[in-house]
Amino acid sequence: MWRMIPDIDLVDQTLSSQSADWIVVTFRGIGEMTGSQDPSLTKSTGNFPNWVDLSNQTDEFGQQRAWVNLVAGVPEMQLWRTMDDAALSLALKLADDDPNSIQYFYKDSFMNDGNDPGSWHKAPPPPSPNNSPQESQNKVRDGLGTTHHEAGTLWIGTDPNTSVTDVDGRFHHIANAYVAGPAVFPAIGSANPSLTALSLARKTASAIVKRSLPVESGFVSIGTGGLAGWQMAGFGGFIELGANIIETVDGIGLLWFTRQQFTNFVLRVDWRASFPDDNSGVFIRFPALGNADPANDWKVAVNNGYEIQIDDTGKNPDVIPNTFGDPLHITGSVYKLAAATKLASNPLGQWNAYEITAQGKTVTVVLNGQQVSQLVNANRSPGGFIGMQNHHFGSRVQFRNIRIKTL
């Protein structure tokens, strides 16, 4: 799961210990200290189980300091012993099961006991009366607190009785307070949890953004802000960027929402382009026609639905040499069917707002508050699916906040 360079603390030792006769291999195992989730626990410093609480000490700002109690219990010792055994077993396999071919580096020196290759990690003594087994003297493990990654104490979960935050990191019963970081981990799960922490923090950020984006009266979001419920037809695809933003990659193809069809509606979509020749479009009212389902052929949407164009160059690909600024091919037009009367796009990098109204045989397009085109006597499919186009390699158009109101 994890690929990394050797631990920086061991690089010099590893390099200095290599010779023509010896190969230095570093095995690093990780243990896990499990905290108690029982709020009624009587906390006893130095005794198992583990806990974190506020102490009567205060910092320079007058705030109570956190007090952490870490004691290895039976579960922790069993896990560490399992990792020791696995490391030894792997080392022996690499040495053709010859214990005399293995030396163990510990405290700046190598040691070897060919008669008993397991002697370097004897089983610990029986648990003490307070259920806190102690390390035996010949253990070659780092002590508690020497290398660690904190996690837990604000566990995520769906049940407020057994967790502190929900799966988005929001405190149960608190509307606007979130946690971002390893404190929400139910368990740490890996030697370095940084990527997991970043992923959960991104998920939390997306949830916050989603809650903060207003959905106007009568409108409902299409999808959840990512790619769930959407399906690709054709080539290329879309990627999730977080914060309810999706972006086109490669092409040419169509991302369409498969869970619902719409007839008369007002569709609002935010979009932005990255380069002058970016090309995309919003498709409406295209049907699923048996074997010609858009899951197999994106051209179904082109030939049977309506594309609200995104292309500030207005390139007409049907003439040679290509012409630019064509009102039937420029941003805001109903592609090839209704010309745009003006180019109302915001500068590159800024968000644009489409409002597309489909009522009977009329399709009206408003861009950034200005009506830019209108198709009357529309004679294609009276209802159908909604989709977003990805066009050519290198084109990057982003979409967010897709919502609709049926009429």
Distance separating alpha carbons of residues 76 and 72, to the nearest angstrom: 6
What pLDDT, on the 0 to 100 scale, is given for residue 121? Answer: 47
Token output for 235: 């080539």
Is the pLDDT assigned to residue 101 strictly greater than 80? no
**pTM over the 0.95 mark:** no
Region 233-241: what's the mean pLDDT? 88
Give the position of tokens 């380069």. 275
- Whether 368 has a pLDDT exceeding 90, the answer reads yes
pLDDT of residue 138: 41
Lowest mean pLDDT among 132-141, 370-379, 382-391: 132-141
pLDDT digits (tens, 9 = 90+) for 337-362: 999 999 999 999 999 999 999 999 99
- Contact criterion met (CB below 8 Å) for 352 and 358: no
Average pLDDT over residues 128-142: 48
pLDDT band at 206 (very low <50, low <70, confident <90, very high): confident
Chain segment 35-87, per-residue pLDDT in tens: 777 777 788 888 877 887 888 888 888 888 888 888 887 888 788 778 877 88
Tell me what pLDDT residue 248 has.
94
**SS3 string of the chain?**
CCCCCCCCCCHHHHHHHCCCCCCCCCCCCCCCCCECCCCCCCCCCCCCCEEEEEEEEECCCCCEEEEEECCCCHHHHHHHHHHHHHHHHHHHHHCCCCHHHCCEEECCEEECCCCCCCHHHCCCCCCCCCCCCCCCCCCCCCCCCCCCCCCCCCCECCCCCCCCECCCCEECCCCCCECCCHHHCCCCCCCCCHHHHHHHHHHHHHHHHHHHCCCCCCCEECCCCCCCCEEEEECCEEEEEECCEEEEECCCEEEEECCCCECCEEEEEEEEECCCCCCEEEEEEECCCHHHCCCCCCHHHHHHCEEEEECCCCCECCCCCCECCCCCCCCCCECCCECCCCCCCCCCCCCEEEEEEEECCEEEEEECCEEEEEECCCCCCCCEEEEEEECCCCCCEEEEEEEEEEC
